[in-house]
Structure 1
Amino acid sequence: MPTIRDDEIPNATGIPSGARRTDLVPPPTLAVTEELLHALPKTDLHCHLDGSMRLKTILELAEQQKVKLLADTEDGLAKAIHMGEVCKSLEEYLVAFDVTLSVLQTADALYRAAYELAVDAAAENVRWLEVRYSPALHLQKGLKMTTVIDSVLEGLRVAKRETGIKCGVIVCGIRHINPQTSMRLAELAVAYKNRGVIGFDLAGAEASFPAKDHKDAFQLILKNNVNCTAHAGEAYGPESISQAIHNLGSHRIGHGTRLREDGDLLNYVNDHRIPLEVCPTSNVQTGAVSSLAAHPLKFYFDYGLRVTINTDNRLITDTTVTKELWIAHKELGLSLDDLTTIIVSGFKSAFLPFREKQDVLHAVNEEISKTLAAFDKKRHVSVMQPG
């Protein structure tokens, strides 16, 4: 008997809600290209504000704020923050955030960073963007946490008015900062529920900083019916993922790269349809995997897990969602059919209300179908033209 994937199960309308609908199966001769992947509607569910700035913006903000950086040119700064380079560890990768955070301590800077991130995402047809950051890291010059949140939300609102992109904010607790701070951040997330904040996260270095220490903050989040996710299984083993699920009640898992080391837990994640926020290039850069070829993304997908593809840090990793999808095709052999399924999984896994998600899924399925048809027609026209 064939396996029934959750994206094949009919929704309330009797129509499958995922990418396995017959009308979404790409024409077998339609090639995967970066142009096609760019044109498709997408999500970015795992994207850090402080890791996704523009180099030019960092330099301009540093000049305005009289902040001394490691370099004063875009090329020099890119090298200084290991942009796109493989790092020795997650901790070395995180050093780059010291640079970006040094200029993200004013309301204007936070507004600009959020606005530009959303505009850049919209330019590659990201329709739903979840921006995560920790307000506790932006208080060095006396800002209040509420000012930090308000500045980012305003930047995202303006970007939405100009481009149409929809965005939500995920507030991050930090593993290596005391659990009391996570509680304050959880209280902030609860206060801003339905005002732009859509979820809570636990980020930061995994080793020596167990997720279970932050359980109280997540209990507050869950009691107030707020969505939550957690970085887990990136730089530490499956025990980190287990804690995120069973101690924190996480609805999604950030990265989950080492989930494959525990078959029983992997099946639990699969059975309960817990989405993985996969960031392939970042996982190589941080040393979570030795190479793209060694990444478990394709195994997870083939096994039936709900996987999504994301950027993590657009600047530091030097990537976009389009680039990550292209890499998944070129390096891991995922087909266009696979990629459209993963794209739809992104929308299905979004921290959106159910009814709104239904509407979004119908619109996205239709847009994907039309985009595939348009590219197939374009291909036929090209083939028929004389050389």
Structure 2
Amino acid sequence: MPTIRDDETPNATGIPSSARRTDIIPPPTLAVTEELLHALPKTDLHCHLDGSMRLKTILELAEQQKIKLMADTEDGLAKAIHMGQVCKSLEEYLVAFDVTLSVLQTAESLYRAAYELAVDAAAENVRWLEVRYSPALHLQKGLKMTTVIDSVLEGLRAAKRETGIKCAVIVCGIRHINPQTSMRLAELSVAYKNRGVVGFDLAGAEASFPAKDHLDAFRLILKNNVNCTAHAGEAYGPESISQAIHSLGAHRIGHGTRLREDGDLLNYVNDHRIPMEVCPSSNVQTGAVSSLESHPLKFYFDYGLRVTINTDNRLITDTTVTKELWLAHRQLGLSLEDLTTVIVSGFKSAFLPFREKQDMLRQVNQEIATTLAAFEKRPVAAMRQPA
């Protein structure tokens, strides 16, 4: 049976020992399989709506909206958007979003994309999903930003009614769009606080577009006690991470791949328990790292950083949370105990109110323990991973 170990010290989210946070030690003989990882409860804290559609949906929406795409089959479209392929740069990777955004300019398409994303996440036992996107990128056909937000939230609510998955929205400012637009998006985030929006982000190309240009938007966000994160250290150096933390006041860091280049900043992030939204396969695809084996995830985890594992873009990177956890085990050597710690870290790092997070952590720890116990009792043959 898995051991549940009580931790009498406050954790990084500020949850005291009275919250009964538990760490789970899996049985040493229990094998890590994709089936087991699929069965465990999970989070996806870094997931872009416009990068996580279904190929079939894109084709159907394009046909309905009379939009000409570069391919009219799922295989052809997958190749055109570099699905799962390594790109020459982040900028080349971002070209795929021109395709998805072209069909996400109506209330109906936004509702469908959000609903399907949440349903797909629920199918792999994601319990908490934070969907991020920029309403400013969905206005080409005259939608209002409020309509964009409402359509996505309604799609997520429909998925919750059907599957039970809990979802929320993170609104994205875009680095290469003017700071005035970021301010409008920040105002929108404040207005929708407690109505489905749980955070504000800064996304887009890092090079030549410093985070400090969007400082006013983040000041408004922090003044109104809204959570915030920022893409940083993915396509630019650790100074981008420093700006995100010290200028913008980011509570989490998206990617942070190059944090390892600045030991002093790395220690600051560790000491202050700033969660890292790590997206391993995406980082290989965009060229942020040369290979999965060279990814700093294992180093960050071993050093003690609060790391979470996420998809980034389920479609374009051709991935799931289960797949990312499996790769972290197979390619980077994370043990089952390591992976359960990372999974729990996802729930600790969620943009959730304190009491709600307490309840979710209790439920998740118990569910993990129950799942591990159930798999431990299964015959060895049933646990064997196919070659």
TM norm structure 1: 0.95
Where does the alignment leave 5 or more consecutive residues of structure 1 unmatched? none
SS in 1 for 2:243: helix
Residue 107 (structure 1) aligned with residue 107 (structure 2) = yes
Distance in 2, Cα, partners of 1:14 & 1:195 = 29
Q: Give secondary structure in 2 for the equivalent of 1:332.
A: coil
Structure 2 equivalent of residue 239 of structure 1:
239
Contact 2:122/2:163 (<8 A) preserved: yes
Distance in 1 (alpha carbons) for counterparts of 2:350 and 2:9: 18
Assess if the C-alpha contact under 8 Å between 1:62 and 1:69 holds in 2.
yes
Counterpart-to-counterpart distance in 1, 2:157 and 2:99: 26
Helix, strand or coil for the counterpart of 1:288? Answer: coil
Write the distance in 2 (CA, Å) between the matches of 1:77 and 1:98: 13
Maintained 8 Å contact 1:8/1:16 = no
Tell me the amino acid that sits aligned with residue 153 of structure 2. L
**Cα RMSD, aligned residues only:** 1.6
State whether residues 10 and 17 of structure 1, in contact with CA within 8 Å, keep that contact through their aligned partners in structure 2: no
Q: Which moved more, 1:90-99 or 1:6-15?
A: 6-15
Q: For the structure 1 residues 217 and 286, does the alpha-carbon distance in structure 2 shift closer, same or farther, using more than 3 Å as the test?
A: same
Is this contact kept in 1: 2:20–2:362, CA < 8 A? Answer: no
**1:84–1:51 distance in 2 versus 1, CA, 3 Å:** same
CA deviation map 1:266-286 (0-9, x unaligned): 000000000000000000000
In the TM superposition, what are the counterparts of 1:75-90 in structure 2 within 5 Å? Answer: 75-90=75-90
Cα distance in 2 for partners of 1:352, 1:249 equals 18
SS at match of 1:152: helix
- Cα 1:61–1:194 change in 2 (3 A) is same
- Aligned match of 1:178: 178
In 2: Cα distance, 1:376 partner to 1:14 partner: 30
Does the 8 A contact of 2:10 with 2:17 survive in 1?
Answer: no
Using the size of structure 2 for normalisation, the TM-score is 0.95
Asked if 2 retains the 8 angstrom alpha-carbon contact of 1:9 and 1:17, the reply is: no
**What residue identity is the alignment partner of 2:196?**
G
The residue that corresponds to 2:203 in the other structure is 203
Please point out which of 17, 21, 24 is paired with 2:21: 17
Distance 1:277 1:88 in 2: 22
Rounded to whole Å, the distance in 2 between the matches of 1:16 and 1:109 is 43
Report the alpha carbon displacement of residue 17 of structure 1 after superposing the two structures with TM.
1.8
CA distance in 1, matches of 2:380, 2:292: 33
| CA–CA separation in structure 2 for the residues paired with 1:45 and 1:5 | 25
Q: Identify the residue that residue 55 of structure 2 maps to in structure 1.
A: 55
Q: Quick one: distance in 2 between partners of 1:122 and 1:108?
A: 21
Does the residue aligned with 2:30 lie in a helix, a strand or coil? coil
Amino acid in structure 2 at the alignment position of 1:349: S
Question: What amino acid maps onto 2:98 in structure 1?
Answer: D
How many residue pairs get matched? 376
C-alpha separation between the residues in 2 aligned to 1:266 and 1:189? 29
Deviations 1:202-235 (A, max 9, x none): 0000000000000000000000000000000000
Task: Mark the runs of 5 or more structure 2 residues left unpaired by the alignment.
Answer: 1-7
- Residues 258-273 of structure 1 correspond to what in structure 2 (within 5 A)? 258-273=258-273
Give the residue type in structure 2 aligned to 1:17.
R
Tell me the distance in 2 between the aligned counterparts of 1:5 and 1:298.
24
CA change 1:382–1:183 in 2 (3 A) is: closer
Q: Judge conservation of contact 2:86–2:286 (CA < 8 Å) in 1.
A: yes
Shift of 1:379: 3.4
Q: Residues of 1 paired with 2:344 and 2:237: CA distance? A: 28
Q: Indicate conservation of the 8 Å contact 1:5/1:304, yes or no.
A: no
Report if the CA contact (8 A) 1:43-1:129 is conserved. Answer: yes
Match of 1:331 in 2: 331
Alignment of 1:143-182 (within 5 A): 143-182=143-182
Matches of 1:328 and 1:43 in 2, distance apart? Answer: 15
The question of whether the paired residues in 1 share the 8 Å contact of 2:12 and 2:273 is answered with no
Distance, in Å, in 1 between the alignment partners of 2:13 and 2:312 is 30
When residues 247 and 304 of structure 1 are mapped into structure 2, their CA distance, relative to the original with a 3 A threshold, is same
Q: Deviations over 1:233-258 (max 9, x none)?
A: 00000000000000000000000000
* Contact 2:10/2:16, CA 8 A, preserved across alignment: no
In structure 1, give the amino acid aligned to 2:126.
V
Cα 1:65–1:11 shift into 2, 3 Å = closer
- Deviation of 1:302 after TM superposition, in Å, equals 0.1
Q: Tell me the CA shift for residue 12 of structure 1.
A: 3.7
Deviation at residue 14 of structure 1 after TM alignment:
3.9
